[in-house]
Structure 1
Amino acid sequence: MGEKEKLRQEGLRLLKEMPLTDKLHVEHRLADLLFASSIWKDAKSIGLTMALPHEWDTTKLIQQAWLEKKRICVPLTIENRGMQFYHIESYNQLTDGAFGIKEPIAERCEPASKDELDLLIVPGLLFDTSGYRIGYGGGYYDRYLTDYQHKSLSLASSRQIKQSLPVGPLDLPVDHLLTDDGFLL
């Protein structure tokens, strides 16, 4: 098992074993800090993934975005480990997709181009203080970020932060890293 794979396992374990009360506390804190930030306030269109049970809940973010009349765009995985985001206005436009992640039903939504997304919320398991991350190993977000021109942000518990992580040639850092202790980037 390579170093990245070991770290991936560690990050997954950390999230899956976190007591629910701790998880809810972190989610509440992340949401408060995010909604108060200029990064959130300036974004008119937000790209994010529907979270799995062990990940930070994104439904709170979606509800708040809809309240503030922001556009929410959710990715559908496509061939060659790519992603196409679609604008959703209701949970009825989602279905169970790959890996048990809710994905948009393409026929029920309009596609959103990369330049339409002001803010991309990037999932991950572990992060370093430069914004590099260990994800699930599919490379979907690294591919998407290669020519993405707007702001990218990841949400993390302070427990998910490492001083440094192994970085490959195709790995790209996020612009902003928000933890329950505040913005690190």
Structure 2
Amino acid sequence: MEEKEKLRQEGLRLLKEMPQTDKLQIEHRLAEHLFASFVWKDAKSIGLTMALPHEWDTTKLIQQAWLEKKRICVPLTIENRAMQFYHIESYNQLTNGAFSIKEPIADRCEPASKDTIDLIIVPGLLFDMSGYRIGYGGGYYDRYLTDYQNKTLSLAGRQQIKQSLPVGPLDLPVDHLLTDDGFLF
């Protein structure tokens, strides 16, 4: 567990210290690769987290999805470190939630069941070549994804990729890992 915490701090520092011009270039390339992919094109409903300032911006993804008439689902954290995704049609349906992350206002949104979300974009700080990731340590996504049957994808700058990471019994790999150089798998 100590090794994961060190890696978590390394990944967080890497993102927070990245020059803004580099971050914007990487985000642009990630979006280009994603929007051209079959994973994106096949998805009618996409689940993602509203990004914190040091993370890859997800508002561009949301705007493109809305332009393409795709449904966007954003998670709300609930008790026992769990999440429930909700369909949003406007940023007005969001409020500041746990960990300063924008979350849906439940009574202004429709809940999204797992089987109706075609693609979940899973956040993380570091990733390995098998699709495992180091997140913030809460286990929210790993819990949610245990019985999720559709596609998962993570976005990463190439500097976030490690050959391997320590993997715990509850950790789940993503199906696709997209970097600014393109899909690794």
User: What is the TM-score when the length of structure 2 is the normalising length?
Assistant: 0.99
The Cα shift of 1:105 comes to 0.2
What is the RMSD of the two structures over their aligned residues, measured on CA atoms? 0.6
SS of aligned partner of 2:166: coil
Partner of 1:169: 169
Task: Report how far residue 139 of structure 1 moved.
Answer: 0.1
How far did 1:76 drift? 0.2
Deviation at 1:134, TM superposition (A): 0.1
Amino acid across the alignment from 1:92: N
Q: Distance in 2 between matches of 1:78 and 1:117?
A: 19
After superposition, where does 1:102-117 map in structure 2 within 5 Å? 102-117=102-117
Q: Which residue of 1 aligns with 2:52?
A: 52
Structure 1 residues 1-185: aligned runs within 5 Å: 2-185=2-185
Listed one character per residue, the Cα deviations across residues 46-69 of structure 1 (whole Å, up to 9, x for unaligned) are 000000000000000000000000
- Deviation track 1:146-174 (CA, whole Å, cap 9, x = no partner) reads 00000000000000000000000000000
Q: Which runs of 5+ in 1 are unaligned?
A: none
Paired residue type of 2:72? I
**Count of residue pairs brought into register by the alignment:** 185
* Structure 2 residues not aligned, in runs of 5+: none
Residues in 1 aligned to 2:72 and 2:172: alpha-carbon distance in whole angstroms = 23
Distance 1:148 1:81 in 2: 17
Say which SS state the counterpart of residue 149 (structure 1) adopts.
coil
